[in-house]
Chain A
């Protein structure tokens, strides 16, 4: 398998995640799109690590997963707190800090 295939797939997945962040108006789907982007990068790390024959790529993947878990926990807690305030998940509903 040429490494270019993995990099291309990783780029496609990252683009899908970025498109989700830009296009969707739902906080939970936004967080899911961020997870897609993190996973796309993970795939690149593992592919490069395999090419180098080292375990570093896989270890960075573990760290990314840990950060993703922390991000999901805090992000979802924020979503719950926001939902209590406005009864909505649309980011457009949270404009109190907008000038």
Chain B
């Protein structure tokens, strides 16, 4: 699984490809009017991210990203979108009457966003070590056995708490979505 840094060129090309897929998919999610297309675009974006995880030598995370995220969570979203059967026009209109679209808040918000972006870029340019290769310093730790060993020793408590969290979420979802009897 060790990718040599000698093939930096092909790594860069693959990174650009997967990053483009992820960014385009995410932009399509917030640009679509129809929620169905938003969900499908997000699945596309997850495939791009999965490729990036493979580039980062985390193949198990990449597989889980596809199986759990794209396969389970997004299918849940798709179910709900189709269950509600929201009409296309009402579904995602850009509400022009919203306060964000009045001139003063729009200008203020845009200025704040630009300032935040500038600050972020400034901080980014001053942070040392960003040019260091991600795979240069240490060998990859990516085998499933290694992951499982750490998960069931160091992270045992968090793992068990997670199971309680999922149980609560399950019960809560059923209780919330159930039809109320009179």
Contact = CB atoms under 8 A, between A and B. Distances in A.
B84 A50 contact: no
A23 interface: yes
A46 B27 CA distance: 22
Interface string A1-37: 1111111110111011101101111101101110110
A32 B52 contact: no
Interface in B71-106: 72-73, 76-77, 80-81, 83-84, 86, 90-95, 98, 100
A90 B89 CA distance: 12
Contacts of A80: 80, 83-84, 176-177
B139 A2 contact: no
A9 B23 contact: yes
A65 B52 contact: no
Per DSSP, chain B at the interface is helix
Contact of A77 (B58, B61, B172): B172
A32 to B, nearest CB: 5
B30 A16 contact: yes
A32 B151 contact: no
Nearest to A87: B90
Given A43-B49, A70-B165, A76 B23 contact: no
Interface residues of A, number: 69
B142 to A, nearest CB: 7
Given A29-B38, A46-B56, A73-B170, A58 B61 contact: yes
A83 B46 CA distance: 28
B147 A89 contact: no
Interface string A32-58: 110110010011001101111111111
From A1, A62, A73, residue with most partner B Cβ within 10 Å: A1
Contact of B61 (A52, A61, A69): A61
A55 to B, nearest CB: 5
Given A1-B12, A28-B80, A49-B141, 13 more contacts: A4-B124, A24-B30, A28-B38, A28-B81, A32-B38, A53-B138, A66-B165, A70-B166, A72-B76, A74-B173, A74-B176, A76-B76, A81-B177
Interface of B: 8, 11-12, 15, 19, 22-23, 26-27, 29-30, 32, 35, 38-39, 42, 45-46, 49, 52-53, 55-58, 60-61, 64-65, 68-69, 72-73, 76-77, 80-81, 83-84, 86, 90-95, 98, 100, 109, 117, 120, 124, 127, 129-135, 137-142, 146-147, 150-151, 155, 158, 162, 165-166, 168-170, 172-174, 176-177
